[in-house]
Amino acid sequence: MKIIKKSKELSDEVAFLKRNGSSIGFVPTMGALHNGHLSLIEYSNSDNDITIVSIFVNPTQFNDKGDYNKYPRILKNDLEKLKNVKCDILFTPLENEMYPTKDKRDFNFGNLDKVMEGEHRPGHFRGVALIVSKFFEIINPDRTYFGEKDFQQFTIIKHLTKLLNLNIEVISCPILREDDGLAMSSRNMLLTQEQRANVSLISKTLFEAQENVKYMSVSETKDWVVDTINKNPFLEVEYFEIVDEIKLEPISNWSDKKEKIGCIAVHVGAIRLIDNIRFYS
């Protein structure tokens, strides 16, 4: 595994690899790697000759400075985990490498960044688009891989490639879960033991809701999910929305022919967790 910190060095390395006919897969991360991240790398390895992974805690996507400051940074542990998979190049830039000057660009995502995460984290997706577009400019991968846990982010990155007219295939990979159903997340390690014992209710409730479509309307399902989770004193739902998978517009009836996904954000003390589940009807 080659570790690179400078953008120019990475772009030169990629240019050399492409001249030699190698296909490039890219997995962007903010570190604190878990098996979900490692699965993205394995998907990239199966599709490409070369896999590049980035570890960079991106300041522009945090609308809460406290959240940014407490985000886990454990590069030594990450390096150990990367030994278990084939990572050809690890890109670990410093902040002034990615943002030598203030980036004032903005992006028109229509309604995609106005709902759910966008509504509750103003500016978040602009920050995501800033850093991902920079990575794409440096690497210009053939394919890039995102976990389905961040479904809205995946949808926006697909839109970003169209906005920028980039020939990059954006691939979503299934959510990996802990044995008790909790979606794998770097933030999970911030949970106290007591909090960790309660958060499995999030996925348990979502899976039950998936079955309840036989008995409940869309609005009843939404209310039931929120009420069920909020009854736990450790958990507080920020939002739960059932939307179509393309435009992220609200679904009002199960008979709607659009593919449906339920997206949720839950506060666990100072920690914020997200998850989602597909609904079939």
Separation in Å, CA 9 to CA 2, 12, 25, 235: 11, 5, 17, 45
* Coil/strand/helix, residue 123: coil
Coil vs helix vs strand at 178: coil
Phi and psi angles of residue 175, each rounded to the nearest 5 degrees, phi first: -65, 135
37 among known catalytic residues: yes
The answer to whether residues 67 and 123 touch, using CB atoms and an 8 Å cutoff, is no
> What backbone phi and psi angles, to 5 degrees, belong to 165?
55, 50
Question: What burial class does residue 255 get, using C-beta atoms within 10 Å of its C-beta: 0-12 exposed, 13-18 middle, 19+ buried?
Answer: exposed
Q: Which of 34, 37, 120, 124 is catalytic?
A: 37
State the amino acid at position 179 in one-letter form: D
> Could you list the active site residues?
37
